[in-house]
Amino acid sequence: MVAHLLRLKLTLLRNSVRRSPWQLVGLGIGTLYALGIVGLLVAGLLLLRGQEIELAQTVVVLGGAAALLGWAIIPVAVSAADMTLDPARFTTFAVPMPQLLAGLALGGLIGIPGLATSIVALATVGTWSRSVPAAAGALVGAVLGVLSCVVLSKVVTTATAGLASSRRFKDISAVAFLIPLVLMGPIVAGIAKGIAGSGDFLASLSRTLSWTPAGAAFSLGGELAAGHYGAAAVKFLIAVATLAGLALAWKVLLQRALVTPPYAGTSKRRSGGPGLFGVLPATPAAAVAARSLYYWLRDPRYAGALVVVPLLPVLFLFQGSQSGFYGPFQFVGPLTAFLLAWSISTDVSYDSTAFALHVATGVRGADDRLGRALACLSFALPVVLLFSVGPFFLTGDWAKLPAVLGLSLGVLFSGLGLSSVVSARYTVSVPLPGDSPFKKPPGNVAQTLAVQLGGMAVLMVLVAPEVALVAAQFITGSTVPGWIALVLGPVLGLALFATGVRVGGIWLDRRAPELLAQLAVNR
């Protein structure tokens, strides 16, 4: 039975790449990325072999505890739990519980995260290959540790399945998870500073952790290498008890979950009125704009961008405060303009097959384009103006304001124009509606990369005049190019915006059914 479950998982994995060779390419890229990280970690662990026991033990135990934490948190936080072997699908098959548990646990190892964790964990055997008992202990510890990771992740996902299946929780957690992700730099820097301040802290933390379920398994090799056989025996018992306890908890939770399917209670609302549709003018373009604005607020794939934008100045401020040089901070306006304008280049792909409504109602392409662009512009323009002017209150270098402002407006309008064309012509693979923004999107990764990179290259060309004028001011110190940029940016930008909406609209009028057919491939 366990073998059946493993074979099922492998078959599902193989079939998922069989739909198109491009998905194989996508999987290949993902694998290469994972291989790179795994390679670095493995190399690091092997290098630790020559280091003192104390240092190696600290690194291995803390790394193991971090892996455990990651397996517990990440699947829930990003709503991307691996559901290929969803236990709910086996309810009708009467699989004996111990075999189901074993099959699902081992199945959890198949896939990039499981394999990566296993390989890195096994590399600790290399770290501790200083004596036979140490290497053996490390091997046992790695097996216990990796299994604990997988089972812990199952415990957490099973326990939160009810919560995680509610749409509201999914939406909020996906967006909230972005905040620490974006602020990763400052957070890591802060932690690193703290560590540099107290080198002993980590060693003592690792010593403490190694006596807890979080670190016991991965500390086995180190204890044996140091000759602490008594401590090793106790920690072995702790690690085994941890795994057994987790397995028991999982079994109980799963038994309950199998007979009580998650029920996502939703609040009924009689009527909220037409909302924005009643406020904006009653034209097709305004209706498209109202719909887009609702999506910016309600769809985590869009809302994620809105969460990231206010964090950008924070990032640049932090970077400036570290280096004492606020040069990049002055360009947070143009950067925001680029991010927001480019974000609607995937608009039709985000619609997925819901775009059929636009095709069926025969809305004119130009109205479709204009509505989406104006929705983005309605909040992007004030934000970009604020971010362009704001930094100069700090730097006081007001002479550069016209140039930066011109560049911002140029990038914003040109970008929206270009996005209007790109999204009318090319679909890219994005997470499907309702999926987490972090979920690996189905479909053609290569085309996505080509469209994104190509589009950005074209945008660079389109805003080249503004960039050149800004560069001229920064190099020569003359304010004349800056003032020219302030005039040229909006003028050229608006011209490109109008052209983009028109060209995109014409393409949409001609090719809307073909576009819909491309969207239907991914569904």
Partner 1 sequence: MTYQTPDQQGQPAPHGPSAPTVPALSLLGLAKRFGDKIAVDGITLDVPAGSFYGVVGPNGAGKTTTLSMATGLLRPDFGTALVHGVDVWQHPLEAKKLMGILPDGVRLFDRLSGEQLVTYAGLLRGMDRDTVAARVAELLAALDLGNDAGTLVVDYSAGMTKKIALASALIHAPRLLVLDEPFESVDPISAANIRDILDRYVASGGTVIVSSHVMDLVQRMCDHVAVVAGGRVLAAGTVEEVRAGASLEDRFVQLVGGRNHTEGLEWLRTF
Q: How far, in Å, CA of 375 to CA of 84, rounded?
A: 37
**20 makes contact with partner 1 (CB under 8 A):** no
Residue 314: how many other CB atoms lie within 10 Å: 13
Q: How far apart are CA 125 and CA 60, in angstroms?
A: 11
Q: How crowded is residue 346: how many other Cβ atoms within 10 Å of its Cβ?
A: 23
Residue 506 interacts with partner 1 (CB under 8 A): yes or no? no
* Among 22, 90, 277, 483, contact with partner 1 (rule: CB under 8 A): 277
Rounded distance, CA 154 to CA 315, Å?
A: 35
What is the spatial distance between Cα 441 and Cα 428, in angstroms, rounded to a whole number? Answer: 9
Closest CB 517 distance from partner 1, rounded Å = 6
Angle separating helix axes 284-298 and 300-323, nearest 10 degrees: 60
* Residue 207 binds to partner 1 (criterion: CB under 8 A): no
Distance, in Å, from the CA atom of 19 to the CA atom of 443, rounded to the nearest integer, reads 9
Distance CA 422, CA 373 (A): 12
What does the DSSP 8-state code read for residue 48? Answer: G
Q: Is residue 29 close enough to count as binding partner 1 by CB under 8 A?
A: no
248 or 354: CB nearest partner 1 = 354
* CA nearest to 263, candidates 184, 399, 122, 163: 163
Q: What is the rounded radius of gyration, in angstroms, for the C-alpha atoms of the chain?
A: 27
Residue with Cβ nearer partner 1 (294 or 318): 294
Which is nearer to partner 1, 272 or 477 (by Cβ)? 272
394 binds partner 1 (CB under 8 A): no
By the rule CB under 8 A, 94 interacts with partner 1: no
Q: How far is the CB of 283 from partner 1 (least distance, A)?
A: 7
Q: Does residue number 263 form part of the binding site for partner 1 (CB under 8 A)?
A: no
C-alpha 175/C-alpha 172 separation (Å) is 5
Q: Which is nearer to partner 1, 32 or 523 (CB)?
A: 523
Distance, in Å, from the CA atom of 72 to the CA atom of 193, rounded to the nearest integer, reads 27
Site for partner 1 (CB under 8 A): which residue of 50, 92, 271, 324? 271
CA 426 – CA 142 distance, rounded (Å):
46
86 binds partner 1 (CB under 8 A): no
Taking the complex as a whole, the smallest distance from the CB of residue 360 to partner 1 amounts, in Å, to: 4
Per CB under 8 A, the list member of 30, 111, 434, 454 interacting with partner 1 is 434
CA pseudo-torsion sign 12, 25, 350, 80? positive
Q: Which residues contact 371 (CB under 8 A, 6 or more apart)?
A: 284, 285, 286, 287, 288, 289, 291, 292
Residue 331's CB is within 10 A of a number of other CB atoms, namely 19
Mark residues 332-371: x for contact with partner 1 by CB under 8 A, - for none: -------------------xxxx-xxxxxxxxx-------
CB-wise, 167 or 193, nearer to partner 1? Answer: 167
Which pair of structure tokens corresponds to residue 460?
């660079």
Which lies closer to partner 1 via its Cβ, residue 92 or residue 271? 271
Binding-residue pattern over the window 456 to 495 for partner 1, x denoting contact by CB under 8 A: ----------------------------------------
Both tokens assigned to 461: 């060309």
Please tell me whether residue 172 binds partner 1 under the rule CB under 8 A: no
Region of 47-55, 71-79, 268-276, 321-329 interacting with partner 1 (CB under 8 A): 268-276
When the beta carbons of 227 and 274 are compared against partner 1, the nearer one is 274
Query: Smallest distance, Å, CB 132 to partner 1?
Result: 57
Q: Which x/- pattern, by CB under 8 A, does the window 289-328 give for partner 1?
A: -xx--xx--xx-----------------------------
Contacts of 178 (CB under 8 A, 6+ apart): 304, 307, 308, 437
Instruction: Please say which residue, 9 or 369, places its beta carbon nearer to partner 1.
Output: 369
Closest to partner 1 by CB, 299 vs 502, is: 299
CB of 268 to partner 1, least distance (A): 6
Residues forming the site for partner 1 (CB under 8 A): 167, 264, 266-275, 277-278, 282-284, 286-288, 290-291, 294-295, 298-299, 351-354, 356-364, 433-434, 513-514, 516-517, 520, 523
